Structure 1
Amino acid sequence: MAGIDYADLARDVLSGVGGEENVKTVSHCATRLRFVLKDPARADKARVSTIPGVISAVESGGQFQVIIGNNVPVAFAALEKQSSILSESRPASSNGPSGQPAKRGNIIVRGLNGAIAVVSAIFAPIIGTLCAAGILKGLLMIVSTVGWLPTTSTTYVILWTAADAFFFFLPMILAVPAARKFGANIYTSMALAGALLYTQVASVSLLLDGEAVSQPLRAFQDAGGPVDFFGIPVVLQGYSATVVPIILAVYLQSVIEKLIAPRIHDSMRNFIVPLVALVVTFPVALLALGPVGNWLGQGIADIFLAIQGFSPILTGFLFAALWQILVVFGLHWALVPIFINNIATIGYDTFKPLVWPAVFGQAGAALGIFLRLREPRTRGIAGSAVVAAMFGVTEPAIYGVNLPRKRAFGIAIVSAGIGGAIVGAAGARVYGYGLSGILTLPLGYGDPLGLGDTFLWLLLGTAVSFVLAAVLTFFFGVSKKDIAHDRDAATAELAGSTEANDGTSTTESHAIVAAMPMTGTLIPLSEVDDEVFSSGVMGPGFAVRPTDGRVYAPVTGVVVATMPHAVGIHSDDGVDFLIHVGIDTVALKGKTFTPHIAEGDRIDRGDLLLDADLGAITAEGYDTTTIIVVTNDHEYDASLIAPAGPTASGTTVLAIHPVTENAAG
């Protein structure tokens, strides 16, 4: 996204979500800014989607998600300078911004959204480092298996320590984002996590033959020694690499802190509140939360293994096919702790391998688009999306290439399902966590637990998904409308290049094209009987004297404004269009117009936007001349490439060029 001013992007996004006062928390993952808003209704999704540098905006899982792509850390850093929110939690309120009760909705939906919002907020900040540690573990598995670096080598041990420490101390690492999410004291949460881990090394002094002997508390318990807290039996657990216990403990800590903080004088609050929180939370965690959390973790692992055992092929197909749909709605976060939990409790996971076919299915579909179409901008987007997806980041492929072309997205899903069925049938395993891409495939290499090597099956299922998606998309994933648009765009590109070489063009060689939205007589703007439009003040474009009242989309993009008599569109090329049916027809107040789209809808070129009753408009005394103008004319210029006269809807009539200085000087 060269040329993007991320300070402007951050300011515009913050304004588009309702301002800083409407934000509870904001965090980011690999590709998205994730806002939790006080009043989601105040966010303008369509407006945010049109901000330069923003790929799209979606609402899912209790979050308003702004999709940036690989440059999301830059956008997040710019947002940090624009506000003091970041990912620090603000106390949640039961009321809306005006003191009105917040919308309740279905309790199950609210519960699911809330759980997903919690999981994504906690795990999103650590995913990058989590993946790095997982990749390093996978690479070490390979080099030790092939004999390049024996496990007895101190070099291997040092590198393994660097990789494994993240997982061993995972509860302490998770304590930080969990504290931010729940509004707890971060350092108290870290002390709480450290205390849970310390139970594995803490010692108890025993008298043996009259001498004091120190014995690890866990070993003392395992030998039958009673461990209690004021007479209440304590069953010690292993907390390294666990997920659920620390999240439950930090939540309890946050409740205690919020309960007692207002009752403690300012002079003592800074140490009394952490003291009470530790003294109360840690024993409760040992007595109840830890065992319950571990029990839940093991139970979840057993349930998923049972599901997969029922029908590995069907499970593999459905899981892989549905994965990217879950990603689109942000629901995949609910499964991340399950992957990590399985690895922590049983040493491996059989569901995470199913994500590789899903990811490479999107990469393959984008490759099919890259090979099938010829327009340079489309190929540029598709080519970069293929590379990003192969490294595990699929949002550019989904939102920039495949989803706008519905067939390609569908083919990617089916191909992923077929690849997932292969992986599932083989029971392929991974032994660490990481973003599913080409660099993390080694997480499934080898047979460290003696269960059988399944790595080749993981490779096979992933490769089948990739190749199948690419081939099917190339032959069947591009509609006739897409092919026509690509041909027109390539033609305009060639025409623009010729003009530039002649020195007669004042624009760049790349041209964007727009189609006739209505069937009728094409006329230049200068012939429109309205001074605002005919003077070009509203921007360059053209007009139609329609003979048919059906209005179709001239480009592919997003509807950013809709009134009964007019539609605003932000195209995928970055051009803003206004289609205004009739002159002064706003006075009809919607009478005679039937819209077929709504603000925020994604549309393809040729989609029906609205129906206008031309006879009724004329009977009311209004001119039916329809105007199409480029409203961001400070960025783009436009010129007719079709002759005036009778023209069918769908015909390419306008070429738009980014505005630059005259190449001839």
Structure 2
Amino acid sequence: MKYEKLAKAIIENVGGKENVNSVVHCITRLRFKLKDEGKANTEVLENMDGVVTVRQSGGQYQVVIGNHVPDVYKAVVAEGGFESNRPVDDPDDKSNKGSLLDRFIDMISGIFQPILAVLVASGMIKGFNALFIAMGWLNEASGTYQVLNAIGDALFYFLPIFLGYTAMKKFGGTPFLGMLIAGALVYPALDPGAQAGEPLYTLFAGTLFESPVHIEFFGIPIILMTYAMSVIPIILSTFFAAKLENFFARIVPDVVKTFVVPMLTVLIIVPLTFIVIGPIATWASQLLGAGTIWLYELSPVIAGAVVGAFWLVFVMFGLHWGLVPIAINNFSSQGWDPILALMFVHSFALAGALTAIWMRTKKQKLKTLTPPAILSAIFGVTEPGMYGIALPLKKPFIFTLIASGIGGALLGLFGTVGYAMGGLGIFQLPSFIQPKEGINVAFIGALIAAAVGTVLAFVLTYFFSGANKETEEPAPQAEDNTKQNVTSKVIESPLNGEVIKLADISDSAFASGALGKGVAIKPSEGKLISPVAGTVSALFDTQHAIGIVTEHGAELLVHIGMDTVQLEGKFFNAHVAQGDKIEKGQLLIEFDIEAIEKAGYDIFTPVVITNFDQYTSIETAEEGKIQVGKPIIFLDK
């Protein structure tokens, strides 16, 4: 683990495991309750790399860490074998992260975010390579095509390996361990297509879930499936792997921990993935395939609506593999297939939604990413636009599904079918041409369905997704108590009160500027107002502190009072939750100033930029009276 060495040193210098009654963490520091604070080596801790300072207050021995405190806390708990109680300010408190769907989408988008740029680049290369084939400029036997295909397809084929790294990192495990697990899943010899000869036996023969078994693991049958290009299997595997790794890190002796922990983790997780996740995904795919055929026989329109609306979801979970064998069988037995034709509109609907986002958004990053993602979607490569843009924004993804479902219903209504295993996106269109009749009503229906899906997704996203929200703060106007210069970004005051220098407050960790650059405010009114538009990145049970990531990337921390975490939420009332999108001027937290001071706590409130190292200059308002909405921090990059 990244912070294992630091955790060992901290535990040793607070007097060892036996001197610790309990440990929790708040937004910036580890809070130990020690049996004997005299045994702690404060001087050594204060001079330790990774520790900002040490404070002793309210019966707690506080080791100030900074932004990385959740990671250090996990390492301390693992190293010391302490009970992992929910910390007082736990940013991983799932109760504060919205609905299960919101948390799932946030997790998926967070896992894909680090690879988004290369995902878009790969999608463009794949799309252009398909265009070169369609135009006759290249053929599939040429070396140029094969090299370009390898470049464009490598990330998608080995996607589980990339996600193994990012997912394991997100879940708190060792990223390279996630890559190892994913590598085993896509190992060529364990792909179903690599299995030659008759199976050892067949499970559930004669039923819908009939599954050939080619290999066993200590006598346990393994139902192989194709994990290349899949998403959910590796995410599930790394989720449990991270927990298993942390468990072994607590019980395995230090002398062999370095290699025994990863060995035990992969020896358990990889076989379990093959034995459990593989069969579940395989059977779910088979059930989906059988259900789709039944639904098409019942009503092509309903089947088109279902396949069209949920195709992207099927792809996300790897369930679409249940439809591909049915389509191949249809082509070989009757020369045509209706199933894969029904998903035709999804890439055009996504392109329509992405176009609306590009036209409406003022976020520079989205402006840059959407054009190549639109092009990729038209060419049938939907992963960049889906995972990188539409899914994180939620509403555009939902509108894409709706438009694709309506387009699928139209395909069913027109009786559009495919006569060959064609390409994707615009390159699938030629497969709808009837070999004898040529262009017929069914082919025209495909064009109409694609147009309807594109326009509908565009309109819904353009008018109802909120993609037009401002993302940049206006340039500050000169005020009597502000700097008289124009800066690139401005943070306004979230409180009415009096500005003082950060260095003048009693908390040395904040006063030193180690936890962030900014100011402190002595509030005159118990209302914390959002100074920016952005996202609540941290809000804790005690509701005394809030972290905000602004839409221009500044990470803002507002900590109401000194040591007010010990009030355990009394006198605070939050009006937002972690993960919420917030607007400038929105009421965030109400607090009772008089009650807090009467309880013996200092009410001075630091307002700091925690990612200050990303700015070349941070200037603050002069000391004196301040009102909500007046600039207090000026940022230059």
Structure-1-length-normalised TM-score: 0.50
- Preserved contact between residue 556 and residue 603 of structure 1 (Cα < 8 Å): yes
1:68 to 99, 109, 114: 114
Q: SS at 1:578's partner residue?
A: strand
2:213 to 249, 256, 261: 249
| Per-residue deviation, 1:635 | 1.0
Residues 212-239 of structure 1: per-residue CA shift (max 9 Å, x gap): xxxxxxxxxxxxxxxxx9xx9xxxx9xx
Q: SS at 1:579's partner residue?
A: strand
| Per-residue deviation, 1:437 | 3.8
Partners of 1:451 and 1:255 lie apart in 2 by 56
Q: SS at 2:613's partner residue?
A: coil
Q: SS at 1:577's partner residue?
A: strand
Q: SS at 2:323's partner residue?
A: helix
Larger Rg: 1
Cα 1:346/1:380, change in 2 over 3 Å: same
- Preserved contact between residue 244 and residue 297 of structure 1 (Cα < 8 Å): no
| Per-residue deviation, 1:371 | 1.6
Residues 118-160 of structure 1: per-residue CA shift (max 9 Å, x gap): xxxxxxxxx99xx979x97x998x78xxxx99xxxxx99999x
Residues 92-135 of structure 1: per-residue CA shift (max 9 Å, x gap): xxxxxxxxxxxxxxxxxxxxxxxxxxxxxxxxxxx99xx979x9
- Preserved contact between residue 522 and residue 542 of structure 1 (Cα < 8 Å): no
The corresponding residue for 1:469 is 457
Which amino acid counterpart does residue 581 of structure 2 have in structure 1? I
Partners of 1:353 and 1:59 lie apart in 2 by 28
| Per-residue deviation, 1:316 | 3.2
Matches within 5 A, 1:18-33: none
Residues 555-585 of structure 1: per-residue CA shift (max 9 Å, x gap): 4235246353112334454432212112332
| Per-residue deviation, 1:188 | 6.8
Partners of 2:293 and 2:106 lie apart in 1 by 28
Aligned: 1:604 with 2:615:
no
Which amino acid counterpart does residue 587 of structure 1 have in structure 2? Q
The corresponding residue for 2:409 is 421
The corresponding residue for 2:565 is 586
Q: SS at 1:622's partner residue?
A: coil
Cα 1:614/1:71, change in 2 over 3 Å: same
Partners of 2:581 and 2:576 lie apart in 1 by 9
2:532 to 549, 554, 557: 554
Partners of 2:355 and 2:546 lie apart in 1 by 33
Partners of 2:557 and 2:380 lie apart in 1 by 37
The corresponding residue for 2:54 is none
The corresponding residue for 1:633 is 612
- Preserved contact between residue 526 and residue 590 of structure 2 (Cα < 8 Å): no
Q: SS at 1:429's partner residue?
A: coil
Q: SS at 2:607's partner residue?
A: strand
Partners of 1:611 and 1:350 lie apart in 2 by 59
- Preserved contact between residue 419 and residue 461 of structure 1 (Cα < 8 Å): yes
The corresponding residue for 1:446 is 433
Partners of 1:536 and 1:363 lie apart in 2 by 46
Matches within 5 A, 1:139-150: none
Structure 2 stretches of 5 or more lacking a match?
1-67, 79-85, 94-101, 147-156, 162-179, 223-280, 479-483
Partners of 2:372 and 2:140 lie apart in 1 by 35
The corresponding residue for 1:540 is 517
Cα 1:352/1:295, change in 2 over 3 Å: same
Partners of 1:373 and 1:361 lie apart in 2 by 18
Q: SS at 2:458's partner residue?
A: helix
- Preserved contact between residue 408 and residue 478 of structure 1 (Cα < 8 Å): no
Partners of 1:471 and 1:62 lie apart in 2 by 26
Partners of 1:374 and 1:185 lie apart in 2 by 40
Partners of 1:626 and 1:428 lie apart in 2 by 65
Cα 1:188/1:319, change in 2 over 3 Å: closer
The corresponding residue for 1:379 is 367
| Per-residue deviation, 1:341 | 1.4
Residues 292-339 of structure 1: per-residue CA shift (max 9 Å, x gap): x99999986453122134343344334434445x37xxx733422123
Aligned: 1:338 with 2:322:
yes
The corresponding residue for 2:554 is 575
| Per-residue deviation, 1:374 | 4.0
Which amino acid counterpart does residue 603 of structure 1 have in structure 2? K
Aligned: 1:617 with 2:596:
yes
Matches within 5 A, 1:44-59: 58=104
Structure 1 stretches of 5 or more lacking a match?
1-11, 23-40, 48-55, 76-126, 150-154, 163-172, 200-228, 238-242, 260-292, 496-501, 660-665
Cα 1:196/1:587, change in 2 over 3 Å: same
Q: SS at 1:346's partner residue?
A: helix
Q: SS at 1:523's partner residue?
A: strand
Which amino acid counterpart does residue 580 of structure 1 have in structure 2? H
Aligned: 1:523 with 2:524:
no
Cα 1:188/1:255, change in 2 over 3 Å: farther
Partners of 2:324 and 2:445 lie apart in 1 by 21
- Preserved contact between residue 180 and residue 186 of structure 1 (Cα < 8 Å): no
More displaced stretch, 544-553 vs 617-626: 544-553
| Per-residue deviation, 1:634 | 0.8
Partners of 1:311 and 1:191 lie apart in 2 by 33
Partners of 1:253 and 1:434 lie apart in 2 by 36
Q: SS at 2:417's partner residue?
A: coil
- Preserved contact between residue 422 and residue 461 of structure 1 (Cα < 8 Å): yes
Partners of 2:547 and 2:302 lie apart in 1 by 44
- Preserved contact between residue 308 and residue 405 of structure 2 (Cα < 8 Å): yes
The corresponding residue for 1:219 is none
The corresponding residue for 1:5 is none
| Per-residue deviation, 1:626 | 3.3
Which amino acid counterpart does residue 310 of structure 1 have in structure 2? L
Matches within 5 A, 1:68-467: 68-71=114-117, 193=194, 195-196=196-197, 248-250=212-214, 252-256=215-219, 301-324=289-312, 326=313, 332-347=316-331, 349-374=337-362, 376-392=364-380, 394=382, 397-398=385-386, 401-402=389-390, 407-430=395-418, 436-438=424-426, 440-442=427-429, 444-447=431-434, 454-467=442-455
Cα 1:631/1:190, change in 2 over 3 Å: closer
